[in-house]
Structure 1
Amino acid sequence: MNSVVQYYEIIDEASRFSRNSRKIEFLTSTHVISSLLPSHAKILDVGAGPGAYSFYYAERYHDVTSIDLTPKHIEQINKESEEKHLALNAYVGNATDLSRFESETFDFVMCFGPLYHIIDSNERDKCIKECLRVLKSGGHLAIAYLSKYAVIPMLATREKTFIRNSVIEKVINQGIIIDGDQDCFWTDAYFTSPEDIETLMMNYGVSTIDHVGTDGISHTIQEYIDALSDEEFHSWMDYHFLTCREKSILGLSTHGLYICKKTNGHQ
């Protein structure tokens, strides 16, 4: 995971939601999650990045704890939470080991970044099990993932030198790219499908609550979305909320969000 940390130490992840085409992911995720949260919920933000979601919910009087692999992100969260006078706990840590937290601690667990970058299936299993372990019975786990069906269309608009059979094979058939490989256009990354994420999560004895494409095709056609006027963007968001659960769109959404409930009989 060192390559992932090195990547995020360099880029400005805090600016990711500054453009309308990227903001849609945030607006959709908070729209869906907020309807499921109890008052003053105890939330764990796993792979919090610089804390966009952590701050959103801390400012709405929830008890938020953040954990991220990248030290820079935790420094940013601590600095901003101090400036805003928010009691937000933030720690450097790995999503595959949440042992600093006791079992059945949180009402809601958000795992929004880790699955993007865990390329080993055993490590993904550890991540999901840990998120469920620290979640209270009856609580909700929200897992974000990257759809393999959206990657190649996105590359065609931005990095067309990667439109070649070897890249397509890695994305569609293997579901991973590895930092340093000639076909790697990002850093260590894992791609899956809406069907496969649902099948995977059924192995953990959870109940599916919701499944949405958080940015639809907006990420792929970003230049057109960013050029919309405020009124046009508002109408686009109305369209997006109406269609973000449509299966034919879900697969082409760059980011997907699967939400499940931990049942009382979960082990």
Structure 2
Amino acid sequence: MHGPTTVRRGWGRRLHDEADRLSTTAAGRLELLRTQELLRRHLPPPPARVLDVGGGPGTHSRWVVEDGYEVHVVDPIPRHVAQAEQAGATAEVGDARHLAAADASYDVVLLLGLLYHLPDRADRDQALAEAHRVLKPGGLLAAAAINLHKEPLRGSIAGILATQIHDGKKAFTKAYFHTGAQLLEEVTTANFANTDVYGIEGPAWSLLAATGRHTGEPLTDSPLFESALTAARMAEPYPELLSACSHILVIGHRSA
């Protein structure tokens, strides 16, 4: 689910180009690199079958394919499906809540931009249930969420903290914000085991993002970027620093 302004057939609306954000902004690049680090630590050895649900134009699928995996993308936007195929994946138009894949047919399911576009708990539960269904016993789930404790939108923070939902009317798409504990609860309720939650960007991401906005510089090759990346790696073992991250990632497995 990484693309420019589109309505997503019930999956929410993107008001910015997410693929571009991950490749051109310092905070986005930090998120991408840390997501790659965490996933490469947990993915089974290639070749393995990976289902990238809500994978958009293949932002993550591209590097997963380059690592030697067989990747299939499901996304509700036909344009994204065509772009994902150009990234080296196979792809189809589909709905995360009603996957066409057969039972126990994938080694890995990625939900890297999906859950925060499903503000209703019932929809998230259904998407997680489908991920569980299509995974092989012991298969890996990786699901990302926007952290409730990030500073999302000036002037809208009180409403987001109260409802955990941003309405999408200003500066950002409609989205759901998780706490780490809540993300873990949703995944374990969906019968995933051996679950862990990781902070992605670490405690210095907001300084990196603010500096980029203030200077207008990309900062992706700057000493500040390297310091923020080092801080993210150092903070990872400390659960008390989880709330300082912009995004969080849960890793779990389908029970055998």
**TM-score normalized by the length of structure 2:** 0.84
Alignment match, 2:160: 171
Does the aligned pair in 2 maintain the 1:46–1:111 contact within 8 Å? yes
Task: Write out aligned runs for 1:174-189 (5 A).
Answer: 174-179=163-168, 185-189=171-175
Q: Deviations over 1:82-131 (max 9, x none)?
A: xxxx3x21112111111x10011111111011111111111111000001
Aligned amino acid, residue 70 of structure 1: I
> What SS class does the counterpart of residue 103 from structure 2 fall into?
coil
Does residue 1:14 correspond to 2:14, yes or no?
Answer: no
Aligned amino acid, residue 93 of structure 1: G
Distance (whole Å) between structure 1 residues aligned to residue 220 and residue 21 of structure 2:
18
- The alpha-carbon deviation at position 51 of structure 1 amounts to 0.8
> What SS class does the counterpart of residue 149 from structure 2 fall into?
helix
Change over 3 Å in CA distance of 1:248–1:57 after alignment to 2: same
Distance (whole Å) between structure 1 residues aligned to residue 220 and residue 62 of structure 2:
27
Change over 3 Å in CA distance of 1:19–1:177 after alignment to 2: closer
Alignment match, 1:102: 102
- The alpha-carbon deviation at position 62 of structure 1 amounts to 0.6
Does the aligned pair in 2 maintain the 1:13–1:50 contact within 8 Å? no
Does the aligned pair in 2 maintain the 1:21–1:218 contact within 8 Å? no
Task: Write out aligned runs for 1:1-267 (5 A).
Answer: 3-4=7-8, 7-8=13-14, 11-17=16-22, 18-37=24-43, 38-78=45-85, 80-81=86-87, 86=88, 88-98=89-99, 100-150=100-150, 153-155=151-153, 160=154, 162-163=155-156, 168=158, 170-179=159-168, 185-221=171-207, 222-224=209-211, 226-227=218-219, 230-264=222-256
- The alpha-carbon deviation at position 232 of structure 1 amounts to 4.4
Distance (whole Å) between structure 1 residues aligned to residue 148 and residue 75 of structure 2:
24
- The alpha-carbon deviation at position 171 of structure 1 amounts to 1.6
Change over 3 Å in CA distance of 1:148–1:4 after alignment to 2: farther
Distance (whole Å) between structure 1 residues aligned to residue 80 and residue 204 of structure 2:
26
Structure 1 or 2, whichever has the larger Rg, is: 1
Alignment match, 2:215: none
**Once superposed, what is the RMSD of the aligned Cα atoms?**
2.3
Distance (whole Å) between structure 1 residues aligned to residue 176 and residue 144 of structure 2:
11
Aligned amino acid, residue 14 of structure 1: A
Does the aligned pair in 1 maintain the 2:54–2:73 contact within 8 Å? yes
Aligned-pair identity in percent equals 26
Aligned amino acid, residue 57 of structure 2: P
Which range moved further: 88-97 or 132-141?
Answer: 88-97
Instruction: Give the unaligned 5+ runs of structure 1.
Output: none
**TM-score normalized by the length of structure 1:** 0.81
> What SS class does the counterpart of residue 42 from structure 2 fall into?
coil
Q: Deviations over 1:54-100 (max 9, x none)?
A: 0101112110001112222212222x24xxxx3x21112111111x1
Alignment match, 2:3: none
Does the aligned pair in 1 maintain the 2:165–2:176 contact within 8 Å? yes
Change over 3 Å in CA distance of 1:47–1:228 after alignment to 2: closer
